[in-house]
Amino acid sequence: MTTPTPRRIAGGLLDPAQLGRSTPDALRKLNPATLWRNPVMFIVEIGSIFTTVLAVIHPSGFAWTITVWLWLTVIFANLAEAVAEGRGKAQADTLRRAKQDTMARRLVGDVEESVPATQLQQGDVVIVEAGQIIPGDGDVIEGIASVDESAITGESAPVIRESGGDRSAVTGGTKVLSDRIVVRITQKPGQSFIDRMIALVEGANRQKTPNEIALNILLASLTIIFLLAVATLQPLAIYSKGVQAFAPDSAALNGDGVTGIVLVSLLVCLIPTTIGALLSAIGIAGMDRLVQRNVLAMSGRAVEAAGDVNTLLLDKTGTITLGNRQAGDLLPVDGVSVQELAAAAQLSSLADETPEGRSIVVYAKERHGLRERDVSGAQWVPFTAQTRMSGVDIDGREVRKGAATAVMQWVREHGGRPTGEVGAIVDAVSTSGGTPLVVAERVAGAPARTLGVIHLKDVVKQGMRERFEEMRRMGIRTVMITGDNPLTAKAIAEEAGVDDFLAEATPEDKMALIKREQEGGKLVAMTGDGTNDAPALAQADVGVAMNTGTSAAKEAGNMVDLDSDPTKLIEIVEIGKQLLITRGALTTFSIANDIAKYFAIIPAMFAALYPGLDALNVMRLHSPTSAILSAVVFNALVIVALIPLALRGVRYRPGPAAAMLRRNLLVYGVGGVIVPFIGIKLIDLIIMTIPGIS
């Protein structure tokens, strides 16, 4: 069986085919039982129903045109949410194909029985062999195997899963490629990892975040205020003996239903329909952007919290550094050239298959032009925990490299006298955070001598200093966590550019650090993959568990990185900030563009009662009819125009919060005022050419 690979859905621009697929969903969302959760659009739908009734009773071109565009406003709002949800359905379909009916080989005592995977209970033990599908989420308790996880991660390269350690977790629906493993099921029926992924990428389990709820309350309050204000206009007009105040002087508008239609049009243009229509889509798209980067957010709250993070806790190994110590320098003693030391270091490392040994060979080749030489007849001395050194005997020459104390002891045993210079170099390398390897040789029975020291160091990943500088500009404090001694940790921290470090860290130390930061009112994010990381992941505001980690870690975190890349935490923070900025920018634009609508509709409504208000018609719109209709049409079209921005997100640039606020106010505040003036005027010019409406 071939396992499906998840499709990647391009974010941002509207795909016509996707619009077609999402339109039926948008129409289904017209159900008031569903739409009431969005109070702004719920009011628009009620207004649309009201104008529809009035248009049937008192038909006119104006009434039906307004009615159609009001319904389109609701449909466009639903379409924004449907498109955002639809972008995750392709991946959900792929996951469903991976979640097939599988038979499990369950162990009951020493007896093996075949049962459907859906009948497995938490704690059951199953056997999975090469070519078989893992029937459910669990931990490997016996054996080691190569597993194809492409159905989950999209990566074709298999991974190793084994009992014990931090790589024991397996996911139901993945395929064992080799060997045999015994798995203890950790999932509850119907709550597998794939089940949760399907629900999350489709948005079925999406709960509104605290900020989103607060903004919804604000929008609902504004809607109620404008609803009350509009409801009082007709009584005031009657009191002012201006019964026809809202019926612009046009033959197309004669009829008792005009006043109600105009009032509904005013209400729809006054309330913040733009952000009300796009708010849900912004939240769904934020989670979708994480999914596209192979990060599964268990809740929208976690994505939002990532945007407000103040402190990042990052493991040193594999996150800040490459994880393998590599040759960084060659330090010869007096009387020995660097070239001579390089040749001896390379020779002693040719049979060393460790990452450190290979790095010495490469370093000598690239920095000193040394090529691998003919070593036929050489006798290799392998590294052991007892000798703590390795080397080679060739052509009467013995070369050794290894721990300083072990190599210098070898030199003494073979008639040599290690100089104090070697000890000084070793101490300097250790103080700088590196690992010193001493190189020595003995030629043709002569006394042994030391040649110098290889400086192995944890290599900081390229570009990390720049990334941490970006974090600082964002107001985020970075803390490196490592089990190294304080001297080594300090050296790496200074080279990488992190703000602080925690050396010789234990699980208790991590938990204590997170609590200290949170007590100061800060939000904390961290990554982890082991069972010992679970308490800290649960305590952190944003806990990112590696997919290769244990089930305990994945259950404790509120995000799972399917690629198991610890540096992904930095991207997660950027996506969270982009989500918050997008929501703020479009809210600013929505409120700002109402100003132009006021200048379009208010003069049109009150011109008959107060002729002096015609001075507010700064756009010089053709007629009261076209003014009202232009505002309603623009109000609907601007939702469609902003859907791509809501899905893609406003471009995020690291910087102080004050600078981002100024930029948003300038671009989306001022732009939100100017764009509607232009748009409404252009629509008015088009409407005035349509007979029977203008």
Q: Binding site membership for ATP: which residues?
A: 352, 356, 383-390, 401
Feature table: binding site: 352, 356, 383-390, 401, 529, 533
End-to-end alpha-carbon separation of the chain, Å? 64
Contacts with 673 (C-beta within 8 Å, 6 or more apart), sequence order: 592, 593, 595, 596
Q: How many whole angstroms from its chain centre is CA 621?
A: 46
Complete DSSP assignment for 596-654: HHHHHHHHHHHTTT-GGGGGG-TT--S-HHHHHHHHHHHHHHHHHHHHHHHHH-PPP--
**3-class DSSP state for residue 301?**
helix
What is the rounded distance in angstroms from the CA atom of residue 172 to the CA atom of residue 183? 11
From the candidates 137, 139, 288, 315, give the one annotated as an active-site residue: 315
What is the rounded distance in angstroms from the CA atom of residue 452 to the CA atom of residue 437? 9
Q: Which backbone phi and psi does 360 adopt, to 5 degrees?
A: -65, -45
Q: How many whole angstroms from its chain centre is CA 433?
A: 33
What is the rounded distance in angstroms from the CA atom of residue 290 to the CA atom of residue 561? 9
For residue 588, what is the enclosing H or E element? helix 568-606
For residue 111, what is the enclosing H or E element? strand 111-116
What is the rounded distance in angstroms from the CA atom of residue 428 to the CA atom of residue 436? 9
Determine whether 315 is an active site residue.
Answer: yes
Residue 144's identity, in one-letter code, is: I
As a residue count, the chain comes to 694
What is the rounded distance in angstroms from the CA atom of residue 480 to the CA atom of residue 313? 6
Q: Please identify every residue annotated as catalytic.
A: 315
